[in-house]
Homo-oligomer: A and B are copies of this chain.
Amino acid sequence: MSKPKATSVKAYATSGATAPLAASTIPRREPTDRDVQIEILYCGVCHSDLHFARNEWGFTQYPAVPGHEIVGRVTQVGPKVTKFKPGDLAGVGCLVDADLSCPHCRKGLEQFSPTMVMTYGSMDKHLGLPTYGGYSERIVVDEHFTLRIPANLNLAAVAPLLCAGITTYSPLRHWKVGPGQKVGIVGLGGLGHMGVKFARAFGAHVVVFTTSAGKREDALRLGAHEVVVSRNADEMKAHAGTFNFILDCVSADHDLNAYLELLAPDGNLTLVGAPEKPLPIASFALIFGRRSLSGSLIGGLAETQEMLDFCGQHNITSDIEMIRMDQVNEAYERMLRSDVKYRFVIDMASLKQDGLQSA
């Protein structure tokens, strides 16, 4: 494999854990045989972007460019690309490469492949350089990791589906959520609001758990049948032993045992938020009722495409607040205060405009 040429593209980068994001440039490879080059139109702002920008996971190399909820338009394709042509809409999520031959890849679980390359914070095997995310004008991605976008949806509101969407869709599908089931969604944020929409679309009876009674109306509007204020022990107790599935979208510390007690026999609680500290789990809460506690990490490429197609058929997108590129630092602060309904999406046209501050 000969090394492809790199070209310089505009991006918004951070130079250190405490530095703000600012205008910069990064190298992108020219498309190789199976690559799709995409002009990025919108990029969602995920909480992972903030963790990564601030090196809260400890592996960030600087300069760093976050962003893994990417939608745009194809501008060029390599000679062996079959799924895309210039002018097509395209999306990119959290993954941009993997071997595609290991047992995990062959099962469609590229996210668990030992050779999995993340959209940012990994290594681009073509250039031998770090991968840079979607806060940029252009990205080049192997077509296997490039998603088709339904034409009928609001494109900006599609962007968060590439991470928040698949992160909630995948466990609801894996645990076979459907009609006749009672499903809980814990936390009504970027992930949770998508979980509500999907669980409702799958035909389940949907209950939202929130710490804030003020979110009741919005939860119902998004599709919940019931809303439980989790600080109210009596409200919680009334649901003991009745849930088939609970999707926990909360990253802050919270008492999981209170939710495990709400599961019916053989019920499952899946974590998609990732609290930093270990969670104390009472063994009896699992033993009585053969309950289970799981985690889930985004989804494979085939399932991500299935999710996007499902969204096209059911007219599902994220509820978003559009921002300009130079508002992203403020958006991070607002995200930390849960002050967003429910996902910031960057209008990447704003990156090309004059007047953006350089790093």
Q: In the complex the two chains form, what is the Cα distance from A130 to B48 in whole Å?
A: 56
Residues of B within 8 A of A275 (CB): 283
Max chain B CB contacts within 10 Å: which of A275, A291, A295? A295
Given contacts A265-B109, A283-B275, contact A297 B292 (CB under 8 A): no
Chain A 291-334 interface residues, beta-carbon cutoff 8 Å to B: 291-297
Could you list 16 further interchain pairs (A-B, Cβ under 8 angstroms) beyond the known A112-B288, A278-B283? A109-B290, A112-B289, A171-B290, A271-B286, A278-B281, A285-B295, A288-B295, A289-B295, A289-B297, A290-B295, A291-B294, A291-B295, A292-B293, A292-B295, A293-B293, A293-B294
> A261-274 toward B: CB 8 Å interface, digit per residue (1/0)?
00001001001111
Q: How far is the CA of A116 from the CA of B112 in the complex (A)?
A: 42
A265, B296: Cβ atoms closer than 8 Å: no
Asked if A268 and B283 make an inter-chain contact with CB atoms under 8 angstroms apart, the answer reads: no
For A174, the chain B residues whose CB sits under 8 A away are 290
Inter-subunit contact A104/B265 (CB<8 Å): yes
- Please indicate the chain B residues that have their CB under 8 angstroms from the CB of A286 in the complex: 271, 293-295
Please state if B279 and A280 are interface contacts (CB–CB under 8 Å). yes
In angstroms, Cα B290 to Cα A293, docked, is: 10
Question: Whole-angstrom distance between the alpha carbons of A283 and B294 in the complex?
Answer: 9
Name the distance in Å between A56's Cβ and chain B's nearest Cβ: 13
A residues neighboring B (CB under 8 Å): 104, 109, 112, 171, 174, 257, 265, 268, 271-275, 278-297
Q: What's the Cα separation between A109 and B288 when bound, in Å?
A: 11
B280 touches A290 (CB 8 A): no
CB distance from A84 to the nearest CB of B (A): 29
Judge whether B296 and A287 touch: CB under 8 Å: yes
Please tell me which one of the listed residues B104, B272, B283, B292 contacts residue A274 in the complex, with CB atoms under 8 A apart: B283
CA gap between A194 and B104 in the complex, in Å: 32
Smallest beta-carbon distance A186→chain B, Å: 13
Chain B residues whose CB sits within 8 angstroms of the CB of A109 once the complex forms: 265, 290
Bound together, the chains give a CA A170 to CA B298 distance in angstroms of: 31
Cα–Cα distance between A296 and B287 once the two chains are bound (Å): 5
Q: Point out the residues of chain B lying under 8 angstroms from A280, CB to CB.
A: 278-281
Q: List the B residue with the shortest CB-CB distance to A286.
A: B295
Identify the closest chain B residue to A282 (Cβ). Answer: B278
For A292, the chain B residues whose CB sits under 8 A away are: 268, 292-295
For A268, list chain B residues within 8 Å (CB): 292
Give every chain B residue within 8 A of A288 (Cβ-Cβ).
112, 295, 297
Q: Which residue of B has the minimal Cβ distance to A299?
A: B290
